[in-house]
Chains A and B, each alone.
Chain A
Amino acid sequence: MGTTLAEIVYEIGGGIPNNRACKAVQTGGPSGGCIPADKFDLPVDYDSLSQAGSIMGSGGMIVMDDHTCMVDIAKYFLDFLEDESCGKCFTCRVGTQRLKEVVTRISRGQGKEEDLELLQDLSWLVREGSLCGLGQTAPNPVLSTLRYFRSEYLAHIRDRRCPAHRCRELITFEIDPVLCNGCGACVQICSGKAILGEKNKPHIITQAQCTKCGACLEICKFDAVLVH
C-alpha cells in the first residue's frame, strides 16, 4: 500500500524486457482501468487508483509496452466481461455486448467519430444502471482507455491506422527487398503459404493469403519484415 507504480514496475518487477518503452499498467483485473506511464508516480491505494479511473480490485497488474494497442486491450477485456455477466440486468447483459460491438467496429477501422460519444454514454449507463459490482465496473476498460488514450481511438477512426500495429484489419506485412537475404525461414514458418521466393533471393508476401499472424516478423533475424 502506498508504493508507487514506478517502484513496482521498474524496481520490483525489473522494468520492461528488451528496453522497450512502458505504455500503461492495467490494475485490478478485467474490470479495472489502464493507467498511462506518465502517471507512474501514483501511489497504489484505493483512493488514488479510483481517482485515476481504475480500481484496486483483485490487486493484479498487467504491464504493457508500446506494442500494445489500447483499443485491442479494451476489446479483450470486454470480451471477458461479456462472458462473465450473469445476464439478469439488461444494462449489463446488453450493455457489455454493445460496448464490445462498437469497440470491435473501431478496431476494424469502421468506426465513426460519433462512436466515442456513444461509448461514453453507454459506459455511463452500464455503470449507473447495473445492480452488482460486475456491471458497475464493467465499462472501466473502455472509460480509462478513452480517457488516457483518446488519440489512439482517433487514429483508428480518422486515419484507419493502428499505431501499435496490433489490429489485424488495419495492418499489412511486407518484406524489405534490400534487407532480405532470402534465407527461407519465413517461407517455412508461414502457415498460410503466403510467402513466395527462391533461396538467396528476396521473398514476397502475397497479401491475399496473409493471415497477419506475425510469425514471419518473429522469426526474421534480419528485421526485413515490415509492418505498416
Chain B
Amino acid sequence: MVHITMNGRAVEAERGSTLLEVARFYNFPIPTLCHEDGLNAYGACRLCLVEIGQPPKSKLVAACGYRVEEGLKVRTNSERVQRARRLLLELYVATCPQSKRIQDLASEYGVRQCRYEAIDGQPGAPWDPKANCIQCGLCVRICAEQMMAGAIGFAGRGKSRHVARPFGMTSEQCRQCGACLYACPVCELRCQGSTAETLLCNGCLNFSPVCFQSYNDAMCFLEPCHACELSGPFRHEVGLKVSALQSAPQKAAPSTGELK
C-alpha cells in the first residue's frame, strides 16, 4: 500500500493505481471525458487535471494517467484546478455546443460565459462529426481494446487530426458493432436539440427545464439534470402534458462517412 494525502486527508492506495481511481474510491469527484473503465488511460481531454506537490512548486497533471507515489500530496479541487476546469469546459462548449454531456458539465462546474465564436460561424449549426469531435479517442480505444478490431484510428496531426478508417474505406476488421457510437461521450444531443441558438445552455440552472420548450413530452430518457430534479414534482402544476408520448431526444445520426 502507498500512503498519499488527498485534499488534506491521509489515504491509502494500492501500488500502481492512478490518482483518478483513488479519488473516485474516496468519493472526490473528478470530471472526465476521455476516461472509461476497462480502457487504457489516454490523457487527452485534460479535464481530470489535479494539482500535485506543494505550492509554489505544485503542478497540474492528468489524474487518469498519473500513478500514486509514496507521500504524494494531491488536491483535486484547488482554486487552480477549478480555474483550469472552467476554462477548459468553456473551450469544450465552443468546440461541441451540441453535446448534452459537455453542457451538463459546464453548468455543474460554473461556466457562465462562452467568449469564443462558434466553430462554424453560427451556434445553431447541426452536429458535424468532423468539426465537433473532441478527439477523446474513446471510439478508437474501444474498437481496438475491447472489440479487438482496430478498424478506426487517428489520422493527421495538429488541426487536421481526425478519426478515420484506413484509406477512408470500411475495412474487413469493422463488424459494424456500434461500440464506437456507444463510447462517444458527445454525440448525445443537448436538451434543446442540436440547433439551439446559444453556445452555452446553462439550462440546468433554471427551475423550468429547457427541454420542455423543445419537446412537449415529459418522459425524458436522458440523464436527469438539476432542473428536472427541482421541478419534477410540479410538472402538473406548471401545466405540462405528460400524456403526449413522443420520441425521446435521439442520439445524433452517426457520420456515415467516418465512424462506420
Contact = CB atoms under 8 A, between A and B. Distances in A.
A227 to B, nearest CB: 30
A177 interface: no
Interface stretch (A46-54, A86-94, A160-168): A86-94
Contacts of B115: 114, 118
Contacts of A91: 46, 88, 91
Contacts of B91: 90-91, 94-95, 98, 122, 125
A86 B84 CA distance: 21
Given A83-B159, A131-B62, A90 B94 contact: no
The main secondary structure of chain A at its interface with chain B is helix
A129 B88 contact: yes
A129 B158 contact: no
Interface string A102-137: 000000000000100010011011001111000000
Given A88-B44, A93-B135, A94-B91, A129 B159 contact: no
Contacts of A98: 91, 94, 116
A101 B117 CA distance: 9
A90 B46 contact: yes
B136 to A, nearest CB: 8
Contacts of A94: 91, 95
B24 interface: no
Nearest to B116: A98
A82 B161 CA distance: 12
B157 interface: yes
B51 to A, nearest CB: 10
B174 interface: no
Contacts of B135: 87-88, 90, 93
Given A87-B135, A131-B62, A97 B84 contact: no
A85 interface: yes
A83 to B, nearest CB: 5
A131 B43 contact: yes
Given A94-B95, A122-B87, A128 B156 contact: no
B45 A128 contact: no
A198 interface: no
Nearest to B80: A128
A79 to B, nearest CB: 11
A128 B157 CA distance: 21
B159 A93 contact: yes
22 contacts: A86-B157, A87-B135, A87-B154, A90-B91, A90-B135, A91-B88, A91-B91, A93-B135, A93-B161, A94-B91, A95-B91, A98-B116, A101-B116, A114-B115, A121-B87, A124-B83, A124-B87, A125-B84, A128-B60, A128-B84, A129-B46, A129-B49
Given A87-B135, A87-B157, 12 more contacts: A82-B158, A87-B154, A88-B43, A88-B161, A89-B44, A89-B46, A90-B44, A91-B46, A93-B161, A95-B91, A125-B84, A129-B46
Interface of A: 82-91, 93-95, 97-98, 101, 114, 118, 121-122, 124-125, 128-131
